[in-house]
């Protein structure tokens, strides 16, 4: 490989290898375990960053502004950090309508209020036409560490919960691009996951937001580190009817579709129902489901298996090639 | 104004108005006083962000990698914050040579070691060819507040110090672009300003790095907030011979050229010589000079005046139009 390819930005295996080889290994330090997660710094500070390059910048259910707040806020929350402050850095292409910028900034304002964070510092750069694409936004987030995820405590029998249906963000982007010649009424699930913060008291071992690479990629990243396998049940996976229909029509696997307002949790068996009920009490968690469990008898250690509706078992791999560039 | 123009990214007046109208006012909160500075958060945390879009990505004396470390580190230092951690977010254009990315990451590694900061978290996005320009980098920085700048204590007689010569970064970029048909041997001044950290003990009232818009813009931003004027002496302003020659040849005013490793300080009269000597003891501060003073008799409150070699007084305005896009 001599040149950067789109696949390296997919959130899939190629990207993880690239980041591992070129960033995590050379920059090796105790805070940088994984470049995709929040860093847990001394003095109880959590720190994360994300650049957003979503195309189109406006889509049903959100825009690049709400995405840049929610994406970063959610990265902190799933790491056990209460988000408090965001930085906001804009790279704007010359010629973008000022009204679009206003609309995006207004959306950032609303989203940051909803997510209970303050924009504390920022930066603006303008590049010539053709050297960017409308607007790219970076937000970094800092907050207070309120819980330490402990994936090492995960044991057979623990339950896997999704806080909602899968793939609406990806589908909304696809439809907004009008590349697929299908029509459906769907909105991005883009939302802040603040309602999960109190759940850290219930002792989940692990949380992750379901972003690039979808559920399958996020869960294989976990399963690979475990001495057990993870099994998810196809029949339990909540899908909205537009996502179900579009997936069948286009032959896309919703397990690889990105969300921007959903998370996965691993919780001890005896706490799973309590946690599920708490999640369902929130409007954004109404469709939450226990979708699987940690296993030490069916699969091999490190595997992620899908128990299909037809009764079979399918090994799930992390995403390797880019389904849809610039989803976030 | 209906569309974003290059001038809005210049660091000059148009940009300040844009940021003020569309960001600072709507997002008004006690931490966001100015979007260009570091935010001083509770629990002694300083926080800043910058996106780097410099073109070309490699230039004499540095590259976009060293720039993205030094620029952010310096923003913290001049705000009285000891830099500790950086986030690193890459937006890479598909097709960029992997070797270029390696070289940039290596440069980030070296610079972060020199600046004594750790890369704690990160993100990578890839955009299609033609939707970006090689690589854009965002770094956000966090550190511990070690001093609170107090520009309100500035009084007539206080001295203005520059830590070195002006404009080498801008000139290095111009020459690297080969747009001006001149040749000169110059390197960017891009460097971390960590040697200024201990100087906060000497009680400077104010520090700023001399970036976009140059000395004139940085000092007018200060003078506008003061009930005094600032006077700088042309004869005292240190310029390297390539910058002096190129400025004369091209009719560019070096007072508006950006640096990436120089700062300005305002210090009480009686401490000025001690501070100057401390700065000069560092290799990067060898060319430091006392270039001016705070005045309450010659100029009007809020003015920045240049006392010229020929004996006149010239009012300096902040930069309004873009001299050179994508300098940082």
pLDDT 10s digits, B237-254? 999 999 999 899 888 899
Interface test with A, best of B140, B143, B211 (most A CBs within 10 A): B140
SS3 string, A67-113, reads HHHHHHHHHHHCCCEEEEEEEEEEEEECCCEHHHHHHHHHHHHHHHH
Whether residue A32 is predicted with pLDDT greater than 90 in this model: the reply is no
Whether residue A306 is predicted with pLDDT greater than 80 in this model: the reply is yes
Helix then strand count (H, E) for chain A reads 7, 14
**A131 neighbourhood in chain B, CB within 8 Å:** 53, 55, 132-133, 326
How high is the pLDDT of residue B34?
56
User: pLDDT confidence of A323, banded at 50, 70, 90?
Assistant: low
How high is the pLDDT of residue A320?
80
Whether residue A144 is predicted with pLDDT greater than 80 in this model: the reply is yes
B124/A9 touch (CB, cutoff 8 Å), yes or no: yes
Shortest Cα–Cα distance, B40 to chain A (Å): 8
Cα–Cα distance, A126 to B275 (Å, whole number):
37
Mean of the per-residue pLDDT values of chain B: 93
Rounded to an integer, the average pLDDT of B210-221 is: 94
How high is the pLDDT of residue B16?
82
User: pLDDT confidence of A251, banded at 50, 70, 90?
Assistant: confident
Ramachandran area for residue B213 (φ above 0: left; ψ -120 to 50: alpha; else beta): left
The three-state secondary structure class of B130 is coil
**Predicted complex ipTM exceeds 0.90:** yes
pLDDT in tens, B56-67: 999 999 999 999
Shortest Cα–Cα distance, B190 to chain A (Å): 19
- Name the residue among B5, B89, B119 with its Cβ closest to that of A94: B5
B49/A87 touch (CB, cutoff 8 Å), yes or no: yes
How high is the pLDDT of residue A232?
98
CB pairs under 8 A between A and B: 276
- Name the residue among A43, A51, A96 with its Cβ closest to that of B125: A51
Shortest Cα–Cα distance, A15 to chain B (Å): 8
Residue A260 to residues A3, A64, A122, A241, A313, Cα–Cα distance (Å):
29, 11, 23, 18, 28
Scanning every residue of chain B, which has its alpha carbon at the shortest distance from the alpha carbon of A3? Answer: B97
Task: Tell me the H-state helices in A259-308.
Answer: 272-280
A49/B88 touch (CB, cutoff 8 Å), yes or no: yes
Interface test with A, best of B44, B126, B129 (most A CBs within 10 A): B126
- Name the residue among B23, B112, B142 with its Cβ closest to that of A47: B142
How high is the pLDDT of residue A317?
94
Place of tokens 């001093």: B147
A125/B29 touch (CB, cutoff 8 Å), yes or no: no
Is-contact B192 B112, C-beta < 8 A? Answer: no
**A18 neighbourhood in chain B, CB within 8 Å:** 124
Whether residue A179 is predicted with pLDDT greater than 80 in this model: the reply is no
Rounded to an integer, the average pLDDT of B183-194 is: 91
Shortest Cα–Cα distance, A119 to chain B (Å): 7
More confident residue, B51 or A17: B51
The three-state secondary structure class of B243 is helix
How high is the pLDDT of residue A23?
87
Ramachandran area for residue B122 (φ above 0: left; ψ -120 to 50: alpha; else beta): beta
Please tell me the least confidently modeled range out of A145-154, A174-183, A264-273, B168-177.
A174-183
How high is the pLDDT of residue B321?
74
pLDDT in tens, A81-99: 999 999 999 999 999 999 9
A19/B124 touch (CB, cutoff 8 Å), yes or no: yes
**A326 neighbourhood in chain B, CB within 8 Å:** 125, 127-128, 131
Scanning every residue of chain A, which has its alpha carbon at the shortest distance from the alpha carbon of B15? Answer: A124
**B113 neighbourhood in chain A, CB within 8 Å:** none
- Residue A300 is given by DSSP the state P
The three-state secondary structure class of A168 is helix
Shortest Cα–Cα distance, A313 to chain B (Å): 33
Whether residue A31 is predicted with pLDDT greater than 60 in this model: the reply is yes
- What sign does the dihedral A271-A273-A276-A278 (CA atoms) show? negative
**A117 neighbourhood in chain B, CB within 8 Å:** none
How high is the pLDDT of residue B184?
74
Residue A118's φ and ψ, nearest 5 degrees, are: -110, 140
- Name the residue among A50, A130, A136 with its Cβ closest to that of B130: A130
Rounded to an integer, the average pLDDT of A36-63 is: 93
Give the strand pairing for B45-52 and B58-59. Answer: unpaired
In the structure encoding, which two tokens stand for residue A172, read together? Answer: 């909304």
**A97 neighbourhood in chain B, CB within 8 Å:** 2-4
Shortest Cα–Cα distance, B177 to chain A (Å): 15
B93/A4 touch (CB, cutoff 8 Å), yes or no: yes
How high is the pLDDT of residue B206?
97
- What sign does the dihedral B4-B6-B7-B9 (CA atoms) show? positive
- Name the residue among A9, A118, A126 with its Cβ closest to that of B9: A126
Whether residue B102 is predicted with pLDDT greater than 70 in this model: the reply is yes
Shortest Cα–Cα distance, A235 to chain B (Å): 33
Cα–Cα distance, B169 to B303 (Å, whole number):
27
pLDDT in tens, B287-321: 999 999 999 999 999 999 999 999 999 999 998 87
A51/B123 touch (CB, cutoff 8 Å), yes or no: yes
Q: Which residues, listed in sequence order, are joined to residue A144 by a DSSP beta bridge?
A: A45, A82
A124/B3 touch (CB, cutoff 8 Å), yes or no: no
B3/A97 touch (CB, cutoff 8 Å), yes or no: yes
How high is the pLDDT of residue B30?
85
Whether residue A33 is predicted with pLDDT greater than 80 in this model: the reply is no
pTM of the model as a whole: 0.96
A122/B23 touch (CB, cutoff 8 Å), yes or no: yes
In the structure encoding, which two tokens stand for residue A141, read together? Answer: 């987030």
Cα–Cα distance, A92 to A138 (Å, whole number):
11
Shortest Cα–Cα distance, B85 to chain A (Å): 8
Please tell me the least confidently modeled range out of A210-224, B23-37, B176-190.
B23-37
Whether residue A198 is predicted with pLDDT greater than 70 in this model: the reply is yes
Is-contact A193 A76, C-beta < 8 A? Answer: no
Whether residue B74 is predicted with pLDDT greater than 90 in this model: the reply is yes
Rounded to an integer, the average pLDDT of A4-31 is: 85
The three-state secondary structure class of B141 is strand
How high is the pLDDT of residue B159?
98
- Name the residue among A36, A98, A325 with its Cβ closest to that of B4: A98
Whether residue B35 is predicted with pLDDT greater than 60 in this model: the reply is no
Rounded to an integer, the average pLDDT of B137-142 is: 98
In the structure encoding, which two tokens stand for residue B284, read together? Answer: 């990067």
Whether residue A195 is predicted with pLDDT greater than 80 in this model: the reply is yes
How high is the pLDDT of residue A34?
57
User: pLDDT confidence of B90, banded at 50, 70, 90?
Assistant: very high
């Amino acid at each position: 490989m001599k040149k950067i390819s789109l696949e390296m930005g997919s959130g899939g295996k190629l990207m993880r290898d690239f980041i591992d080889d070129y960033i995590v290994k050379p920059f090796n330090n105790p805070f940088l375990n994984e470049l995709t997660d929040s860093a847990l710094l001394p003095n109880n500070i959590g720190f994360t960053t994300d650049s957003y390059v979503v195309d189109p910048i406006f889509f049903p259910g959100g825009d690049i502004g709400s995405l840049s707040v929610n994406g970063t806020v959610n990265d902190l929350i799933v790491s056990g950090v209460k988000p408090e402050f965001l930085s906001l850095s804009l790279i704007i292409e010359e010629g973008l309508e000022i009204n679009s910028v206003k609309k995006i900034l207004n959306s950032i304002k609303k989203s940051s209020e909803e997510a209970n964070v303050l924009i504390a510092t920022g930066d603006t750069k303008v590049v010539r036409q053709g050297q960017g694409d409308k607007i790219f936004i970076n937000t970094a987030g800092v907050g207070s560490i309120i819980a330490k995820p402990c994936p090492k405590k995960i044991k057979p029998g623990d339950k896997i919960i999704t806080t909602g249906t899968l793939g609406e963000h990806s589908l909304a982007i696809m439809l907004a691009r009008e590349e697929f010649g299908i029509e459906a009424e769907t909105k991005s699930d883009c939302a802040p996951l603040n309602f999960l913060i109190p759940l850290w008291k219930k002792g989940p071992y692990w949380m992750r937001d379901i972003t690039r690479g979808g559920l399958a990629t996020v869960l294989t990243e976990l399963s690979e580190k475990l001495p057990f396998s993870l099994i998810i049940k196809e029949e339990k996976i909540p899908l909205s009817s537009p996502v179900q229909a579009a997936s069948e029509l286009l032959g896309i696997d919703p397990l690889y579709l990105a969300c921007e307002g959903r998370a996965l949790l691993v919780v001890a068996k005896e706490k799973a129902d309590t946690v599920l009920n708490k999640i369902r009490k929130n409007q954004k968690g109404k469709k939450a489901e226990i979708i699987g469990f940690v296993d030490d008898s069916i699969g091999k250690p490190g595997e992620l298996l899908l128990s299909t509706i037809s009764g079979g078992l399918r090994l799930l791999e992390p995403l390797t090639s880019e389904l849809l560039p610039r989803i976030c």
